[in-house]
Amino acid sequence: DGVHILKKIGLFVKMDKEASKKAEILKKWLGKKNINVVIKHCDPPSKRYKGHHFESAPDDLDCVFALGGDGTFLSAVRWIGRQPIPIHGIKFGQVGFLAETSEDGLFQMAEAVLAGLYKIILRMRLEVSVFKNESKIMTESVLNDLVINKGALARLAQIDTWIDDKYLTTYRADGLIMATPTGSTAYSLAAGGPVVHPAVPGIIMTPICPFTLTNRPLIIPDSACVRIRLSGKSSDIMLTFDGQSGLDIDENHTIIVKQSTLPVQMITLPDIDYFDILKAKLRWSGGRV
């Protein structure tokens, strides 16, 4: 199996002087190796869902390097959309779970990728469909999580939940997070959810500050289909996709969540270990970060 020759690479860059400067240097460096480069700057997350008006990545990209933190990586995944384009993240600043390479390892990483010394790991996404009354108003995929969250002034959200059409419970809580294993170390973890290794198949349901203390985080099979509705009159409640954009919802909306048929293709290098990243990020003993 010969090395796949890369001809065109997308650089998805955080709005940041340091990252932009690095992107220009990387573009020149890749240009000398006869590689076409497309640079796209990350738009700030819009708190309101605007539909798919943002442009998608060109379909002839061989891969995308996301320069920024985990938020930039999630935006880059949205930019790639439904296309099977592999992605690798380079972090500027904090240790990231998604952005694996540190800024100073950038060119070493690029050399390795050009030489074909990498693996592609598939990371599950969730597909979220939202219906208002009976008609579908949107479908969105998320790599980390879908969050139902009440506003500051709203009372507890009451969230009716069914799994494979079987009623599970009505969460009375500040909200509910539905996360992938990749997203288990993001907001879900802060809300008391478990750390789930990305190779373990499942969907994590983590209530946010549940009124009933017996409502624990739950891991369900990745084959399950979850249906969610707000019960009673509900206002000031928002659905957020990967923390990137939001949609106001009320008791007229139904949300269906299931595994997406389109996983994210993550480029990973041989010397990167999930548990090393985990230990560093969570500051477990033995590692001083």
Alpha helices in 33-155 (DSSP H): 70-80, 106-114
Under 8 Å CB-to-CB from 125, ≥6 apart: which residues? 141, 142, 143, 180, 259, 260, 262, 263, 264
**Helices and strands: H and E segment counts in the chain:** 5, 19
**In what helix (H) or strand (E) does residue 213 lie, and over which residues does it extend?**
none
Residue whose tokens read 């074909």:
116
Q: Tell me the angle at which helices 106-114 and 17-32 cross, rounded to the nearest 10 degrees.
A: 30
The CA R_g of the chain, rounded to the nearest whole Å, is 20
- Strand order across the beta sheet in which 245-249 lies: 218-220, 203-208, 175-179, 145-150, 237-241, 245-249
161-168: list long-range contacts, CB under 8 Å, 24+ apart. 161/205, 161/226, 161/227, 161/228, 162/226, 162/227, 162/228, 163/220, 163/224, 163/225, 163/226, 164/224, 164/225, 165/225, 165/227
Nearest in space to 173 (alpha carbons), one of 220, 144, 205, 130: 205
250 is catalytic: no
Could you give the CA distance from residue 188 to residue 202 in angstroms, rounded to a whole number? Answer: 14
Q: Quick one: CA torsion of 72, 92, 262, 247, rounded to 10 degrees?
A: -30
Active-site option among 16, 70, 145, 242: 70
Cite the active site residues: 70
